[in-house]
Structure 1
Amino acid sequence: MPKVKNKVEVLAGKKDLQVNRRSFQPFDPLACDFLSSMSGELMSDPLAKQYPDVISFAYWCRRAHLLSMKEQFTDEYIRLGLGCVFHIAPSNVPINFAYSYAFSLLAGNANVVRVPSKAFSQNSIVYHALNRLFADQKYEAIAERSVFIRYEQDDEITGELSADCDARIIWGGDSTIHTIRKLPIPARSIDISFADRYSFCVIHSKSILQANEQELSRLASKFYNDTFLMDQNACSSPHLIVWLGSNEEITAAKHRFWHHLSMHTASKYDLQPVNAIDKYTTLCRHAIDLTEPRTITTHGNYIYRIHLKELPSAIDSWRGKFGYFYEYNTEDLNSVAHIVTNKYQTLTYYGVDKSLLANFVLSNSLSGIDRIVPVGQALDISIIWDGYDLIRTLSRICDIQ
């Protein structure tokens, strides 16, 4: 890739961009050991401890978790990685690029990773850890299969990298994906696109009313992690809360839940003035544009709640940031099935039986919802993501008969 070499900034890995394309088997011991060492590097870095997303990635890479995933991955076939995977990370979720790399490495691939062009502080911590590990002769085979690059949007560079990959992973909004897909990849290569998605939360009011103060405090902390840690920018962060129960139960449950969340948020969340203004502007715009009957409740500048009496089918186009939520009351979860399209990714829940949630998806033949997880696990990323089994998708079968 001679043209690309002088146009990109290499942050970690192969300086000449010429990665070794020979594949490993999924969950190769060296790849697992490398990621486990990455976990140790980050956990012991004082700077990393300032960033919850870096520590979350480090925790994800710990040896016990990798071995657990390996044990769950059972396959009767011989598998090898596809070859070289080109990653295009999202611009608004800093550590996402590291997960994307880890998935592909565990699948057995060499990797060229385009990181966000914005210089996030927490990303620099990861680059430094990668370079320390790449300098260790023990991980030479990983180093020669890895490169992390940064460049401003440039179709010529992206096009050249795309033309030389065996798989391309695109994270971003719909328009970004459409633009990049116009740049061809080799005939036998594959595209995996993680597009803009929408997520919501279901809470049973009786469970809130039955919970003690300590349980509600824990719930508030978990919901905070799902939403405020990423300012609701993550596709898996909920924007809509569906409350189950009678009107009386829901009213009482809302009072308890939002009281605890507002206290937790006020003590934890650093709401920047520009974000507060942006949130208020969104509120004004929605007050004008949203035709459905609604009322508005605020908890200082930290939490805005829009109560909808009717749930529009295009609710996924109405999104908030920095603590901006829509609420809808119902006694029957099936009443919200009409809103679920293939844009829906994660459903978080509290106090709802799993069988009811499974029936909701199956009986309504929903085209969306790829994940159903308890409140507090919205941001927990795994090798099963957006409906893809990434280890199988990023590896190939050698069929011996």
Structure 2
Amino acid sequence: MSIRYILGAQDGAPIAQVLSSLRSQPAWRPFDERAVAFVRRFSQKLLTSAGIRQHPELAALGHWFRGANLQTLAGQYELETPQLLKLGRGLAFHLAPSNVDSVFMYSWLLSLLAGNVNLVRVSQKASAPLDFLVGALAQTLAEDVGAPVRERIVLLTYPHDEQLTRGISEACLIRVVWGGDATVRALRAIPLRPTAIEICFPDRFSACAIRASAVLEADDAALAQLATAFYNDAFWFAQQACSSPRLVAWVGDDATIDAAAVRFWAALDTELARRQPENSEAMNMARVAASFEYAAARLARPAEPGEFRGAHPMRLRMETPLDETAKTLHCGNGLFLETRLPRLAALAPQLSDKEQTLAVHGFPREELVELALALPPRAVDRFAKFGEALSFAPVWDGQDLITTFSRNVLLPTG
């Protein structure tokens, strides 16, 4: 077994020994002061680390887990009553995705806060953000505040090994899977303990909806802010995050949409020139290849006439309603599908349980509720403002993670 331990165990340690040690640790109550102190200190360490400005997604992680937010989060849960005691479930096995380096930290830290012991497997791919995270974690674990947590976390990596994954799965009481649909299906074939639970975060497709008239009504400063917000949603993680918008749904009449689109995309071009996101040749080729596939399937065509092969962003106008094929063909990397609707609720028939986040701009709450009530089952887990599509919340993919990561122990009364 070619396991490389990153944190929490010495290389060469037998996995059975590591698992036995983790399983021997008692469950804590949610928001145990030791867990809260560690997470708060890790947040401080991350936010004050040299080089954090080069990793805005990690700065967002650190900001989310700051002490004030932890206090607010704890206040949202009733942790104990005369009849009920909440505890962590035990050993949680997290399988991190390879395309979004920091996402596993949210589930791990929330699992720790819920009272659990955690083993995390990360990708073997080299990653500057992951190295940055590991450095901050190691420094925090080395401090006094890290002492109670050192025996409750193992971070490791290993190549594909079904036998090893099976062994860890048999030991855990929670399995958390971040990955594509194929990964989820493969892991679901590996059994868990009868008392264990599984939380899966599979492939998702996210979109945004814009009221065209709101773009035309915005002054230049407001439009620049909108472009910045859209950039943060779409270009962090190279549009690979589950909540990154890939479809832009314009709502309004054609003339209004035409004028709004010109204004909006011009503002985004200005933002791209200012921010200079990654746009490698491989990313460009992925966009071009996807555009050919959309054209061959008669699903979409270039949104603007003329040469577009080197365009970044690349815009394709849908020629048919959005379907599962159109979602599957999407490659991220700055490719945007565009569709037009007379009203927001008309988007509902094009959505499915594949959709996670719909970022919205210019719509009153009643129109969002109208759309939500028209949605197919399980379609769209969250509506977000522009600029907040990637903002994490303890309710993710429709699941309250603190509640799911913990269990209720009933106590006698009287």
List aligned pairs for 1:172-251, cutoff 5 A: 172-251=179-258
Percentage of matched positions with identical amino acids: 31
| Residue 170 (1) aligns with residue 177 (2) | yes
Q: Distance in 1 between matches of 2:270 and 2:373?
A: 38
* 1:59 counterpart = 2:59: no
Say if 1:171 and 1:293 are closer, same or farther in 2 by CA, change over 3 A. closer
Which of 243, 263, 285 is 1:256 aligned to?
263
Matched ranges for 1:76-225 at <5 A: 76=81, 77-225=84-232
Number of the residue aligned with 1:374:
385
**Amino acid corresponding to residue 264 of structure 1 in structure 2:** E
User: Of the candidates 318, 327, 332, which is equivalent to residue 316 of structure 1?
Assistant: 327
Match of 1:304 among 304, 310, 314: 314
Partners in 2 of 1:157 and 1:47 — Cα distance?
A: 36
Among residues 256, 277, 295, which one is paired with 1:287 in the alignment?
295
SS at match of 2:359: strand
Single out whichever of 265-274 and 31-40 deviates more from structure 2. 265-274
8 Å Cα contact 1:14/1:143 also seen in 2: no
Instruction: Encode CA deviations 1:22-67: one digit per residue, 9 max, x unaligned.
Output: 1111112221111111011111211333111221111111111111
Check conservation: 1:239, 1:320, Cα contact below 8 A. no
1:362 and 2:373 correspond: yes
Distance verdict in 2 for CA 1:285–1:293, change over 3 Å: closer
In 1, Cα distance between the equivalents of 2:125 and 2:220? 41
Give the conservation status (yes or no) of the 8 Å contact 1:48–1:122: no
Aligned to 1:331: 342
Give how far 1:353 is off: 1.2
Q: What's the TM-score once normalised by structure 1's chain length? A: 0.94
CA apart distance, 1:293? 6.2
Letter in 2 for 1:41: K
Of 4, 11, 36, which aligns to 1:9?
A: 4
Match of 2:280 in 1: 272
Is 1:70 the equivalent of 2:74?
yes
Q: Which residue of 369, 394, 407 maps to 1:383?
A: 394
- Larger displacement relative to structure 2 (276-285 or 367-376): 276-285
Confirm or deny: 8 A CA contact 1:309 1:329 kept in the other structure.
no
After superposing the two structures, state which structure 1 stretch, 266-275 or 224-233, moved more. 266-275
How many residues were matched structurally?
Answer: 395
Conserved? CA contact 1:43–1:49, under 8 Å: no
**Conservation of the 8 A alpha-carbon contact between 1:262 and 1:299:** no
Q: Distance in 2 between matches of 1:97 and 1:170?
A: 9
Q: How far apart are the structure 1 equivalents of 2:105 and 2:357? A: 21
Partner secondary structure for residue 80 of structure 1: strand
Q: Point out the more displaced range, 46-55 or 149-158.
A: 46-55
Aligned with 2:338: secondary structure?
A: strand
Runs of 5+ unmatched residues, structure 1: 1-5
Deviation string 1:256-285 (CA, Å, 9 cap, x unpaired) is 100000111133223112211221222122
Deviation at 1:213, TM superposition (A): 0.5
In the TM superposition, what whole-angstrom CA distance separates every residue of 1:145-191 from its partner, at most 9, and x where no partner exists? 11101111111111111010011001111111111111111110011
Which SS does the other structure have where 1:144 is aligned?
helix
> 2:351·2:375 contact (CA, 8 Å) conserved in 1?
no
8-17 vs 54-63, which moves further: 8-17
User: CA-to-partner distance for each residue in 1:61-89, whole Å, 9 max, x for gaps?
Assistant: 11111111112223553200000100000
Shift in Å, 1:299 = 9.7
Give TM-score, length-normalised by structure 2.
0.91
- Partners of 2:380 and 2:406 lie apart in 1 by 25
Amino acid in the other structure paired with 1:272: S
Alignment check: 8 A CA contact 1:313 1:338 kept: no
Deviates more, 1:156-165 or 1:260-269: 260-269
Structure 2 gap segments, 5+ residues each: none
CA distance in structure 1 between the aligned counterparts of 2:231 and 2:148, rounded to whole angstroms: 40
